[in-house]
Amino acid sequence: MILHIDMDAFYASIEQRDNASLRDKAVVVGGSASGRGVVAAASYEARRFGIYSAMPMKTALARCANLVVVPTRMEIYAGVSKQIREIFHRFTPLVEPLALDEAFLDVTGSEALFGSSAEIGRRIQRTIAHELGLDASVGVAPNKFLAKVASAHVKPRGFTIVEPANVHTFLDPLSVAKIWGVGKRAEARLGQLGIHRVEDLRHADLDKLKQAIGDASATHLYALAWGRDDRAVIPDREAKSISHETTFHTDVTDEEVLRAILLRLTEQVGRRLRRHDRYCSTVTLKLRFSDFQTFARSATLDSATQSTQVLWETTRDTLLRRIPITQPVRLVGIGVSSLANSRTRQLGLFDDTSTRDAQVDQTTDSILQRFGKNAIRRGTTHQS
């Protein structure tokens, strides 16, 4: 069985944990109180006002007069994420991080030691609460898709089990919006076809669905409606690719917001590469628009890298220019592939540049850990 563990309002919960005056208040992390920047995270109290991540800060402030804006402390969040991963690894070596605040775990081989998958999930949830003072929601299911949907089924502090015999019972009543890749526009388009719940999609005519939304999207959504997902949980050290993507609560039209989110995703990918001493030779940008169209563009680097700066320059200066932003964006993602470790990667003619960038990343990380987030930052993320 697979576990998907998703920390509840991760950044905001850490701020509320570390500062008692913020507890039970509407808190957002990111941007500034003057209205610049975007929301990186919102507490559950803030979400009651319709505030969510990737929302322009000025919109969030307009929705809640008493909103408390807290600057991001990425070095703190990364440190807590490392503690969470250490807890995961007490129970299984098969841990696939998706971001700082969520991961898949394959615990099939651990049941003889620690009990059933559900018991392992409960133990992890309790351990995180006891040792770190934070809440997590857990989904237990036969595959990654079902586990992820299950972890979001009840929040916060949720715990949902989907047994193999009950897959359709669990999925069928859900809105199609619960399926990966279905946003508001996609939901409306499926609604025009009479598809509102997962059960409707499961019983839809696949050929007509392909005509309406395209072969790839139709095949993908149809398989998920049946609860089919054969992807394995792959730890970073064994992965052939590493990626981060996010689906927006509301389609994004502001290119400044889009760039800010892309930079954040790029930084997460870079950190994962360095954490496992991996280097990539290919960078891929993925964009999904409001009409279901999905575009992916890749670039091959002159030499393998784990530098955030190289990844970001490739994304910003090369890949973004290959995909015209002509309509609202629903999903963005950054991925890297053609991975190698430091012992097997091929050095390029200008590899000294990659080495310098890696040293900059290491030095920057050290400065942030020692002196705090305001000691040094990338110019494109400056939001004060």
Binding-site sequence positions: 6, 101
> From CA 234, how far away is CA 291, in angstroms rounded?
31
How many other β-carbons are positioned within 10 Å of the β-carbon of residue 371?
11
Annotated active-site residue 102? The verdict is yes
- Catalytic one of 15, 45, 96, 102: 102
- Helix or strand run (H / E) with residue 312: helix 308-314
* Cβ contacts of 337 within 8 Å, gap of 6 or more: 240, 241, 242, 280, 281, 282, 284
> From CA 174, how far away is CA 196, in angstroms rounded?
9
Binding-site sequence positions for Mg(2+): 6, 101
C-alpha angle 89/93/98, rounded to 5°?
A: 80
- Helix or strand run (H / E) with residue 337: strand 329-337
* Cβ contacts of 333 within 8 Å, gap of 6 or more: 243, 244, 245, 246, 265, 285, 286, 287
The gap from C-alpha 162 to its chain's centroid, in whole angstroms, comes to: 22
Task: Give me the torsion for CA of 283, 364, 80, 305, rounded to 10°.
Answer: 20
Which residues are part of the catalytic machinery? 102
